[in-house]
């Protein structure tokens, strides 16, 4: 063979390896990842198999479900890519048929994870409300074996829903929303699978451990997504699922944090250049009894007694907020309260629910847009208004909603408010018979439309979501990690359940929010536990009536002024140490930039508990000497000392290398 022929052969081989359907592209490798095709997709990382003969599927408008197995031999191509996730390879598998739409699988293979999606296309158009990029009928048995756990992540935080970690293979069926992890809590080795796109679909991962089946798909709608209807259909010449991430990690906690980072790359968190909010909210104790008199007295109490004793954020400010009930104030009273807050070196905060009608009067005219009645705004299911949490859901795409947003923002701005707690957001993401905008066909599309308006109209204000879906996350600086929580140890345990398995959510928002801390009518141990649950989660917001409640005032002076505890409220959530409890972990850890380790150890029970420092799990360097201080009592202890945690209480340890 002469040099000319060798040259052309080299070009042919290069072209084949990069862009063509040659047999070499039936497999692809990148770093430790190996993917291949043989009657389905085989996925392996290093020596560990994840899937064998993995398929994909979609549902047509006539309810027919079509799998990749319905097609003949596909074609393949592979090319090098460099994008926001890094350097990798894109492996494309195309399935064609004269009778069926074209199905295209994409695998974006990077160093530490894979992204995959499915596109269904046809010249005459496609209509689907279900696409599953990942269908494992024969997943690696080790993923479902003894000592393995599967993570349930709820769609939203309404109705006191809980995260949970289920022991496998005891749990046969599990549906988790947007993401899950299959992991061993002792070794921490685990698989993370989840959606990184939240613009069109609601996504889920379903497990059947007894049958070794796993399915990740776009198009879930059920009771826990608060839906009465099936997921809306997406129509077009091509319909594409959300991209699903597959990652295998030595530490499942790192995997979920990496999942959060991938989501934040797609839609960066709403920016906030100031310090994390610390403050007070009226709902905790006052609720609808809030008025101009008691709220102003509370603002003064903080200014006179707590702000100069470490209860403020690192900017030296307190965020003082009116919750539901502020509509009983006149505009003059609203402005006067805000002015008082500013005078007291506080940021005035307020509350709104943009996607609800609490009056539930369909014939009532919409204020400011009297050409519409509320019945024109409702999200209907089978012709009936949708009632959730005692309010009718309204259509985020209706022009009257935009007008109400503008009017509400103008009122808040005129009065001087800089922070808004937005509540009952899930109402805006419900599936419906139809939306005002004809180009919107799913609840997620409608929600994104409404949240984009909210973000742009309230662009000069901090937004904190209360009852809301986890995703999409780019429209607010923070989100409450769980539902309402008050003062008792059960409230602390419930909040810590969410931190146990949702701490990583502070990677898609600036901060998590543990809800308002209430001190009244609880033991001192419960006070310490509830305060600790807040400072290790994110926003640090109290909620007592400090205008009249003498017990709350005394407890605030005692427990809200511990500088060592208050300094923990940086906004960076603590991690669970293990993740081996179905309900809530009791040990949480955070390593500071200077190497200091903080450890919070809770006791949710009625009896004292014993705790020993596990030097491997924390982890500690066996060659170093450590000092340990308990931050509530300020006692110095030894790293080998056995610690007793009183019932319904907490201890917080600061561990430093000498």
485-511 pLDDT tens trace? 999 999 999 999 999 999 999 999 999
Q: Are residues 523 and 614 in the same domain?
A: no
pTM of the full predicted structure? 0.95
CB distance 601 to 587 below 8 Å: yes
Q: If 0-12 CB within 10 Å is exposed, 13-18 middle and 19+ buried, where does residue 271 land?
A: exposed
pLDDT attached to residue 250 = 96
Residue 607 carries which DSSP code? S
Domain enclosing residue 502, as ranges? 278-360+395-566
pLDDT attached to residue 147 = 87
Report the mean per-residue pLDDT for the chain: 95
Q: What does the block give as tokens for 518?
A: 């209430």
Per-residue buried b or exposed e for 36-63, using 16+ beta carbons within 10 Å of the residue's own CB: ebeebbbbbbeeebbbbebbbbbbbeee
Quick: pLDDT tens for 218-244: 999 999 999 999 999 999 999 999 999
The answer to whether position 621 is within a domain reads yes
Residue 212 belongs to domain with CATH number: 2.70.98.10
Q: Are residues 291 and 168 in the same domain?
A: no
Q: Are residues 489 and 552 in the same domain?
A: yes
C-alpha–C-alpha distance, residues 153 and 159, integer Å: 14
Domains held by the chain: number: 3
Q: If 0-12 CB within 10 Å is exposed, 13-18 middle and 19+ buried, where does residue 488 land?
A: middle
Residue 437 belongs to domain with CATH number: 3.20.20.70
C-alpha–C-alpha distance, residues 117 and 221, integer Å: 20
Q: Are residues 460 and 406 in the same domain?
A: yes
pLDDT attached to residue 619 = 87
Indicate whether 10 pLDDT > 90: no
pLDDT attached to residue 85 = 98
Query: Residue 371 in 3-state DSSP?
Result: strand
**Final residue belonging to a domain, choices 544, 566, 588:** 566
Q: Are residues 78 and 227 in the same domain?
A: yes
CB distance 405 to 453 below 8 Å: yes
Indicate whether 107 pLDDT > 70: yes
Share of the chain above pLDDT 70, in %: 96
Q: Which residues on neighbouring strands pair with residue 281, listed in sequence order?
A: 321
Higher pLDDT, 452 or 169: 452
Q: Are residues 548 and 464 in the same domain?
A: yes
| SS (HEC) of 103-117 | EEEEEEECCCCEEEE
Q: Tokens 């917080």 sit at which residue? A: 652
Quick: pLDDT tens for 195-205: 999 999 999 99
| SS (HEC) of 187-233 | CCCEEEEEECCCCCCCEEEEEEHHHCEEEEEECCCCHHHCCCCCCCC
Query: Residue 502 in 3-state DSSP?
Result: helix
Q: Are residues 156 and 235 in the same domain?
A: yes
Quick: pLDDT tens for 584-623: 999 999 999 999 999 999 999 999 999 999 999 998 988 8
Q: Which residues on neighbouring strands pair with residue 107, listed in sequence order?
A: 91, 116
C-alpha–C-alpha distance, residues 336 and 196, integer Å: 44
pLDDT attached to residue 143 = 85
Indicate whether 24 pLDDT > 70: no
């Amino acid at each position: 063979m002469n040099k000319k022929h060798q040259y052309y052969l080299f070009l042919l081989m290069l072209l084949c390896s990069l862009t063509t359907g040659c047999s070499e592209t039936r497999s692809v490798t990148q770093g430790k990842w190996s993917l291949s095709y043989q009657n389905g997709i085989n996925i392996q990382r290093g020596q560990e198999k994840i899937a064998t003969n993995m398929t994909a599927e979609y549902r047509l408008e006539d309810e027919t479900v079509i799998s990749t197995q319905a097609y003949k031999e596909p074609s393949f191509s592979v090319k090098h890519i460099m994008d926001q996730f890094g350097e990798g390879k894109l492996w494309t598998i195309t399935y064609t048929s004269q009778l069926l739409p074209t199905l295209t699988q994409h695998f974006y293979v990077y160093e530490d994870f894979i992204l995959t999606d499915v596109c269904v296309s046809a010249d005459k158009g496609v209509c689907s409300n279900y696409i599953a990029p990942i269908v494992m009928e024969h997943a690696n048995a080790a993923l479902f074996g003894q000592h393995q756990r599967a993570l349930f992540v709820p769609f939203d935080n309404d109705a006191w829903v809980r995260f949970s970690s289920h022991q496998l293979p005891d749990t046969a069926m599990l549906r988790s929303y947007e993401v899950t992890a299959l992991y061993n809590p002792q070794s921490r080795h685990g698989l993370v699978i989840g959606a990184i796109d939240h613009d069109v679909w609601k996504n889920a991962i379903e497990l059947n451990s007894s049958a070794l089946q796993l399915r990740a798909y776009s198009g879930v709608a059920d009771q826990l997504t608060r839906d009465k209807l099936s997921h809306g259909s997406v129509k077009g010449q091509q319909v594409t699922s959300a991209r699903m991430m597959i990652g295998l990690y030595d530490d499942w906690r790192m995997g979920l944090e990496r999942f959060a980072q991938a989501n934040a790359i797609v839609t960066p968190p709403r920016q906030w250049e100031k310090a994390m909010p610390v403050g007070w909210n009226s709902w905790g104790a006052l609720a609808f009894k809030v008025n101009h008199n008691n709220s102003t007295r509370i603002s003064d109490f903080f200014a006179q007694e707590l702000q100069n004793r470490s209860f403020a954020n690192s900017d030296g400010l307190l965020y003082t907020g009116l919750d539901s009930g502020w509509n009983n104030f006149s505009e003059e009273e609203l402005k006067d309260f805000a002015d008082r807050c500013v005078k007291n070196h506080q940021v005035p905060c307020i509350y709104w629910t943009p996607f609800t009608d609490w009056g539930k009067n369909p014939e009532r005219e919409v204020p400011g847009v009297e050409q519409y009645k509320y019945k024109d705004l409702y999200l209907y299911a089978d012709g009936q208004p949708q009632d959730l949490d005692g309010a009718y859901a309204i259509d985020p795409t209706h022009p009257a909603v935009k007008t109400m947003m503008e009017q509400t923002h103008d009122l808040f701005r005129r009065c001087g408010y800089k922070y808004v707690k937005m509540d009952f957001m899930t109402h805006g993401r419900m599936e419906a018979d139809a939306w005002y905008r004809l180009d919107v066909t799913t609840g997620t599309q409608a929600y994104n439309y409404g949240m984009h308006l909210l973000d742009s109209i309230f662009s000069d204000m901090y937004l904190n979501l209360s009852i809301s879906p986890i995703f999409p996350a780019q429209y607010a600086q923070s989100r409450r990690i769980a539902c309402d929580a008050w003062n008792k140890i059960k409230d602390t345990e419930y909040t810590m359940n969410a931190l146990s398995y949702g701490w990583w959510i502070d990677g898609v928002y600036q901060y998590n929010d543990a809800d308002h801390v209430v001190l009244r009518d609880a033991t001192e141990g419960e006070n310490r536990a509830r305060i600790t649950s807040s400072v290790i989660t994110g926003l640090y917001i109290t909620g007592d009536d400090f205008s009249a409640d003498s017990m709350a005032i005394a407890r605030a002076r005692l427990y809200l002024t511990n500088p060592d505890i208050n300094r923990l409220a940086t906004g960076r959530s603590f991690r669970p140490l293990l993740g081996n409890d179905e309900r809530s972990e009791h040990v949480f850890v955070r390593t500071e930039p200077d190497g200091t380790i903080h450890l919070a150890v809770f006791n949710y029970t009625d009896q004292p508990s014993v705790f020993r420092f596990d030097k491997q799990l924390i982890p500690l360097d066996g060659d170093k000497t450590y000092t340990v201080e308990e931050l509530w009592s300020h006692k110095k202890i030894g790293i080998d000392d056995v610690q007793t945690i009183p019932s319904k209480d907490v201890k917080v340890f600061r561990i430093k290398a000498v």
